[in-house]
């Protein structure tokens, strides 16, 4: 009988070691949550900066190049009413370009020169920081510096 009791006791001890206690699970979940929060705090501001960089460094120069190609073919830039749709109609671009915030770029013709801009995160003219407009004029001025 004593031997059976010892065997039963050993089995119970082994079974007790197999699982994790509720405290251990809570500690692990807390550590994972803290790591996730710290990564989010570091990554989210960079995401907005990368959208602004994409508009400034890739999209606006590509649209400007398309407008220059249109000018070379037609001898003039498209008027403001036709806008960037003219690049698609002339088969210079495959589709209407969208800014990183999923809105169409704004096209203006000022004194015979094309201006491409996006109203950035807020979608409204003006703004500061992440809401500041990005214009082909700003891109051109930055390239001159």
pLDDT tens-digit series, residues 20-65: 788 989 999 999 999 999 888 888 888 888 888 888 889 999 999 9
| Total tally of structural domains belonging to the chain | 1
Is there a domain that residue 46 lies in?
A: yes
Q: What is the CB-side half-sphere exposure of residue 129 using CA atoms within 13 A? A: 2
Average pLDDT over residues 95-103: 88
Domain containing 119 equals: 21-144
Phi-psi category of 120—alpha, beta or left, where left has phi over 0 and alpha has psi -120 to 50? left
Q: Does residue 24 come out as left (phi exceeding 0), alpha (psi in the -120 to 50 range) or beta?
A: alpha
The pLDDT-based confidence of 8 (bands split at 50, 70, 90) is low
CATH number (domain holding residue 41)? 3.30.700.10
pLDDT at 130: 75
Categorize the per-residue pLDDT at 90 as very low, low, confident or very high, splitting at 50, 70 and 90: confident
What's the pTM? Answer: 0.68
pLDDT of residue 13: 65
Q: Is residue 122 part of a domain?
A: yes
Q: Looking at the domain assignment, is residue 15 inside a domain?
A: no
H helix or E strand, kind and range, residue 114: strand 113-118
Residue 16 lies in a domain: no
Over residues 11-16, mean pLDDT: 62
Helix (H) or strand (E) holding 106: strand 106-110
Q: Please state, in angstroms and rounded to a whole number, the distance separating the CA atoms of residues 60 and 118.
A: 9
2 is a domain residue: no
Assess whether pLDDT exceeds 60 at residue 97: yes
Asked if residue 107 lies in contact with residue 84, where contact means CB atoms within 8 angstroms, the answer is: yes
In-domain check, residue 5: no
Q: Is residue 96 part of a domain?
A: yes
In a domain, 1, yes or no: no
Q: Tell me how far apart the alpha carbons of residues 139 and 57 are, in angstroms, rounded to a whole number.
A: 8
């Amino acid at each position: 009988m004593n031997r059976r009791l010892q065997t039963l006791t050993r089995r119970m001890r082994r079974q007790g070691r197999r699982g994790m206690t509720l405290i251990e699970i809570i500690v692990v979940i807390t550590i994972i949550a803290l790591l996730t929060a710290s990564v989010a705090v570091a990554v989210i501001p960079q995401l907005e900066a990368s959208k602004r960089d994409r508009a400034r460094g890739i999209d606006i120069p590509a649209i400007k190049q398309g407008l220059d190609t249109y000018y070379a073919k037609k001898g003039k830039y498209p008027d403001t009413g036709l806008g960037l749709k003219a690049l698609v109609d002339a088969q210079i671009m495959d589709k209407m370009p969208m800014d990183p915030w999923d809105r169409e770029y704004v096209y203006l013709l000022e004194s015979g020169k094309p201006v491409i801009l996006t109203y950035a995160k807020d979608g409204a003219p003006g703004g500061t920081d992440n809401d500041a407009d990005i214009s082909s004029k700003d891109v051109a001025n930055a390239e001159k510096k």
